[in-house]
Amino acid sequence: MNPEREYIFFCDESDRKGPFFSNFYGGVRVPASQLNPVNATLLARKQALGLTSEVKWEKTDPTNVERYQQMMQAFFHEIATRSLAVRIMFTQNVHVPSGLTEAHLQDTYYILYYQFLKHAFGLRFLPPHAHPPRLRIYLDEMGDTRERVAQFRGFVAGLPQDKNIRAHGIILDPQDITEVRSHDHILTQCLDVVLGSITFRLNNKHKAIPPGQTRRGKRTVAKERLYKFILGEIKQVTGKRHFNIGITTGASSKGEGFWADPYLHWCFKPRQHTLDLTKAKP
C-alpha cells in the first residue's frame, strides 16, 4: 500500500491558438513527501548556475541557453527518479469540434483545462493507498475574472465525485485549488520551459525569420537548441528513442501506466469532430 498522503499538482498553460496546434496545458505532480527535497535540489541548481531571475521559456537566448540546458537536466533527473511526473496536453487544429454551442466556445479554455486535470494524470488508475490521499492543485495565474476562476475551481473540486474516481476516496477541497505566481515556484518555472519548447516546435516557431531578414534570429536558434536538448531528455526518461511530440504517448501499461509513467503527451481529440486538412502542418 502506498503510504503517500498528499500530492501537489503544478499546472501551466501556453498558446491557446496556434497555426497547427492549440490549447497547450502542462502539469507536474509531486508527492508531498518529495516536495521540499525536490525544491531544494532545483533551487540549489538554479543558484549554482547563476540564474537569478525567473526561469521561463521566453527568456531563452544565446547568453543563457547552456545554463537552461543544465537546469532542464536537473529537472528531468527528478522525473527519471520518479520524484516527479509530467503531463502535456494539446489539440491539433485539423480536428475541428462539431456540435458545440456558443457557451462551449466561450468556455473552451476551462473545459479543456478540466479534461486535462481529470484525465492526464490517470486519477482513475490511482494505486491503492494506506489512506485516501489529498490533492492540492496550483494553477499558474489565469488572468481572468475572480468569478470565472471561482466557477472553474468549483467544477475541479467535484473531481473526487466522478464515477471513475470516487472509489479511491480522493480528498480535494476548494481552498486547495489556487492560483500561484510562477515566480514563487521552481517546479512551475521548469514546467514552463518544457511546455514552451513543445509549443515552439509543434507550431514551427523554430522556422521564424524576422521581417526584413534572411536568417533566423539568435534567440530562435537558441530556443531550437534548447528544444532539442529537452527532446533528448524526454527520450531518455521515457525510453522511447523515436518519441513523437505531436501524438498521444502510449502508456507503459493500459491502466496504471497513466498514473505511474514519468512523462506522457496527450493530443486531445474531440469525440465529435470533422477533419480540416488545410490546417495540417505542411
pLDDT tens for each residue of 157-198: 999 999 999 999 999 999 999 999 999 999 999 999 999 999
pLDDT number for residue 233: 98
pLDDT band at residue 99, thresholds of 50, 70 and 90? Answer: confident
pLDDT number for residue 104: 81
pLDDT tens for each residue of 196-245: 999 999 999 999 999 999 999 999 999 999 999 999 999 999 999 999 99
DSSP output for the chain: -B---EEEEEEEE--SS-SSEEEEEEEEEEEHHHHHHHHHHHHHHHHHTT--S---GGG--TTTHHHHHHHHHHHHHHHHTTS-EEEEEEEETTEEE-S--HHHHHTHHHHHHHHHHHHTT-GGGPPPBSSPPEEEEEEEP--S-HHHHHHHHHHHHTGGGSTTTGGG--B--GGGEEEE-GGG-HHHHHHHHHHHHHHHHHTTGGG---TT-SS--HHHHHHHHHHHHHHHHHHHHHT-TT--TTSPPPPSSSSTHHHH-SEEEEEE--SSEEE-GGGS--
Is residue 125 scored above 90 in pLDDT?
yes
Does pTM top 0.85 for this prediction?
yes
Quick check: is 1 in a domain? no
Tell me the average pLDDT across 95-113.
Answer: 87
pLDDT tens for each residue of 37-59: 999 999 999 999 999 999 999 99
pLDDT number for residue 215: 95
pLDDT number for residue 42: 98
Task: Write the CB contacts of 256 (distance below 8 Å, at least 6 apart in sequence).
Answer: 122, 125, 127
**Higher-confidence position of 278 and 264:** 264
pLDDT number for residue 1: 87
Quick check: is 37 in a domain? yes
When the pLDDT of each residue in the chain is averaged and rounded to a whole number, the result is 95
pLDDT number for residue 101: 83
Quick check: is 220 in a domain? yes
Tell me how many domains the chain contains: 1
pLDDT tens for each residue of 4-36: 999 999 999 999 999 999 999 999 999 999 999
pLDDT tens for each residue of 68-87: 999 999 999 999 999 999 99
Tell me the average pLDDT across 244-249.
Answer: 97
* Dihedral-angle region of residue 227 (phi above 0 means left; psi in -120 to 50 means alpha; beta otherwise): alpha
pLDDT number for residue 252: 92
Q: Phi and psi at residue 199, in whole multiples of 5°?
A: -60, -45
Quick check: is 176 in a domain? yes
Give helix 218-238 / helix 65-80 axis angle, nearest 10°: 20
pLDDT number for residue 107: 86
CATH number at residue 258: 3.30.420.10
Quick check: is 253 in a domain? yes
pLDDT tens for each residue of 131-151: 999 999 999 988 788 888 889
Domain that holds residue 54: 6-279
pLDDT band at residue 95, thresholds of 50, 70 and 90? Answer: very high
Alpha-carbon gap, residue 186 to 74, rounded angstroms: 12
pLDDT number for residue 35: 98
